[in-house]
Amino acid sequence: MRKGLTWFNITSIVLGFAFLYIPILLLVIYSFNASRLVTVWAGFSTQWYWALLENEQLMDAAWVTLRIAFFSSLVATVLGTMAALTLTRYGRFPGRTLFSGMIYAPLVMPEVITGLSLLLLFVAVNFDRGFWTVLLAHITFTMCFVAVVVQSRLVTFDRALEEAALDLGCPPFKTFFKITLPLILPAVVSGFMLAFTLSLDDLVIASFTTGPGATTLPMRIYSQVRLGVTPEINAVCTILIAIVTVVVIIASVMTKRAENQRQAEERAAMTG
């Protein structure tokens, strides 16, 4: 069989990537446009990035978004890791199947439904909507992603390592921080980064659960675009794309490296 690139392969790759990235590329290019008219190219300029700094509305929204993304993914990481530990470790406790099903449900749940039900909850308990409600909502919907990532690592974790620590006189709580956590850390960190990027670009759930004074960046962009696309929006989106890309690349490199190391260790163990 012929290996390498055939005409068919080249065509599919070009078409596929064009489909995925031409819109984004266009956006990035126009963010460097000197003209105020979005669709007319008038030479290279970084003025819209400087203009961004002056645009308080956008800057405020960006700050709110970053804070929400950071704190929600932090809490989601702790809760998701705990859920993953419980699901992989504590055997068949009553309700385990129900619990594991329920933790994955938000993965496939339409965002509109998650957002709407959270809104109903906050209204029912008379919780003033704003920064905190968006934060809570984001914890809710990103936690399950963390749980999935961490659980997949824990499945291959050798329990004998923890037993060895216990056997050597290390109490369970300390064992978790000395042995378990360092070994699953790459998975926990990539879970955190996944949660961070999900929170960063969420529009639907944030719109449902937000209130006055807590407009996130995606919401601000969306509302401004309805009045017409400005080059400033292009610039802010480019920055957003850059952040998400960097975070995703770091996360996948970390996961890959941890995976490679584990495989090397396993190979070494097998061949003795």
Partner 1 sequence: MAADKARKETIGAVRRSFAPWTDPTKTPLIRFENVVKRFGDFTAVDHVSLDIYEREFFALLGPSGCGKTTLMRMLAGFEEPTEGRLTLAGEDLAGVPPYRRPVNMMFQSYALFPHMNVEANIAFGLKQDKMGKGEIDARVEEMLKLVKLEKFAKRKPHQLSGGQRQRVALARSLAKRPKVLLLDEPLGALDKKLREETQFELMDLQMDLGMTFLIVTHDQEEAMTVADRIAVMNNGVLVQVAPPSVIYEQPASRYVADFIGEVNLIEGTITQASHDETRISSPVTRFPLVVAQTVACKAGDTACIAIRPEKLRIALEPPADPSENLFEGEIWDIGYLGDLSIYHVELACGQRIKVSQPNLSRMVARPISWDDKVWVTFAPHAGVVLT
Binding positions for partner 1, rule: CB under 8 A: 158, 160-161, 163-172, 179, 182-183, 261, 264-265, 268-269, 271-272
Smaller CB distance to partner 1: residue 212 or 272? 272
> Smallest distance from the beta carbon of 80 to partner 1, in angstroms?
22
Residues 220-254 as b/e (b if ≥16 CB within 10 A, e otherwise) read bbeebeeeebbbbbbbbbbebeebbeebeeebeeb
> Smallest distance from the beta carbon of 99 to partner 1, in angstroms?
21
> Smallest distance from the beta carbon of 157 to partner 1, in angstroms?
11
> Smallest distance from the beta carbon of 172 to partner 1, in angstroms?
8
Residues 150-162 as b/e (b if ≥16 CB within 10 A, e otherwise) read bbebbeebeeeeb
Smaller CB distance to partner 1: residue 128 or 163? 163
Smaller CB distance to partner 1: residue 109 or 183? 183
Q: Which two tokens stand for residue 182?
A: 């360092």
Smaller CB distance to partner 1: residue 36 or 178? 178
Q: Of 234, 133, 150, 254, nearest to 195 (Cα)?
A: 150
Smaller CB distance to partner 1: residue 10 or 264? 264
Q: Which two tokens stand for residue 162?
A: 């923890």
> Smallest distance from the beta carbon of 170 to partner 1, in angstroms?
5
> Smallest distance from the beta carbon of 77 to partner 1, in angstroms?
20
DSSP 8-state assignment for residue 89: H
Smaller CB distance to partner 1: residue 16 or 182? 182
> Smallest distance from the beta carbon of 148 to partner 1, in angstroms?
24
Smaller CB distance to partner 1: residue 53 or 269? 269
C-alpha 158/C-alpha 76 separation (Å) is 25
Burial of 67 (0-12, 13-18, 19+ CB in 10 A): middle
